[in-house]
Amino acid sequence: MLIQWLRAAPAVLLGVTIGGAIVVTSVIRGESSPIPTRHEVPIITVFDNYAVNPELTTQWGFAAVVMSPSVNILFDTGSDGRILLSNMAKLKIRPKDIHKVVTSHVHPDHLGGLKEYLKVNSDVEVYIPASFPDSVRESITTSGARYRDITGALQIDEGVFTTGEMGTSPIEQSLVIDTSEGLVVLTGCAHPGIVNIVRRAKEVVPNRAIALVMGGFHLGSASDNELHWIIQDFRKLRVNKVVPSHCSGERARERLEAEYKENYIAGGVGNVLTLR
Ligand SMILES: [Zn+2]
Ligand SMILES: [Zn+2]
């Protein structure tokens, strides 16, 4: 069950009560820092072209922070590092509290903020698709940070996995987080296909339910027929909740909302979901 995340006080909660579970899409204020308790896994969208929290800055791109009990991960960096850092500051997430950075793919709306981010915290390991150009590796090592080339699926920390490289144009990796509520599949742009990514996640961590799929679904140009079959596949794969944002497409968001009803969560910058 998704739970309300109330550690920050005072907080303005723009949450909605959904089928007994409370999903918080919140504005975190005050002096508290969003440090999770031991078994909570907050996932905070820190960069998006959609807004959940109007106090944050929107721009085309995506980035999210995952705080598992053992590691804090920045997944993607948006298109502009200054906006990324400003949004993180408003959400009380200190750049130096991040241990690992995972970049989904080479497009500038996901990679564009990396250089600026590494200027304020180079004490991180950056997980990049091995297909990345050497210029990205140079930029990472010049900042003082370390990189790790990813090809196949890999456990990158306790309960946190990458799907490994998928697709071709461009090659992309997605994040899979194993929580007690089930798997969270976190995508950048889902260029390899959102259904293919969910299938891969189930192979990487077998015999686990899919608690939620979140991020860019890349369905902006999908026809109604294609959307119909994607939703059918999601149902077959037992995707419990969906949080589409970034490049998911307006029509896809509408169709997913109509289908998933209370299990649809509108993604956007400032969205805070906490799983147990
Ligand atoms: Zn892309
Ligand atoms: Zn994108």
pLDDT digit string, tens, across residues 129-145: 999 999 999 999 999 99
Name the average pLDDT for the chain.
89
User: In angstroms, what is the span from residue 38 Cα to ligand 1's centroid?
Assistant: 34
Q: What is the pLDDT of residue 276?
A: 83
Q: What are phi and psi of 258, to 5 degrees?
A: -65, -35
Ligand at minimal distance from the CA of 216 is 2
Instruction: Tell me how far the alpha carbon of residue 216 lies from the centroid of ligand 2, in angstroms.
Output: 7
Q: Is the pLDDT of residue 51 over 70?
A: yes
Distance CA 59, CA 109 (A): 9
Distance 134 CA to ligand 1 centre (A): 19
Mean pLDDT across 2-17: 35
pLDDT at 5 over 80: no
The pLDDT of residue 32 is 44
The rounded Å distance from CA 79 to ligand 1 centre is 11
Question: How far away, in angstroms, is 247 Cα from ligand 2 center?
Answer: 6
State the distance from the centre of ligand 1 to the C-alpha of 43, rounded, in angstroms: 21
CA of 6 to the centre of ligand 2 (A): 30
pLDDT at position 168 is 96
Give the closest residue to 117 by CA, choosing from 141, 135, 101. Answer: 101
Say which ligand is closest to the CA of 110.
2
**216 and 62 Cβ atoms separated by less than 8 Å:** yes
75-103 exposure pattern, b = at least 16 Cβ within 10 A, e = fewer: bbbbbbbebbbebbebbbbebebbbbbbb
Question: What are the helix and strand counts (H, E) for the chain?
Answer: 7, 17
- Which has the closest alpha carbon to 267: 100, 29, 74, 23? 23
Model pLDDT, residue 152: 98
C-alpha 167 – ligand 1 centre gap (Å): 12
CATH 3.60.15.10, domain 11-275, yes or no: yes
Distance 26 CA to ligand 1 centre (A): 27
Average pLDDT over residues 213-241: 97
Can you give the residue ranges of every domain in the chain? 11-275
195: left (phi over 0), alpha (psi -120 to 50) or beta: alpha
How much distance in Å is there from the Cα of 118 to the middle of ligand 1?
Answer: 21
How confident is residue 39, by pLDDT bands cut at 50, 70 and 90? confident
Helix, coil or strand: residue 13: strand
CA of 72 from ligand 2 middle (Å) equals 22
Query: Over 60: is that where the pLDDT of 241 sits?
Result: yes
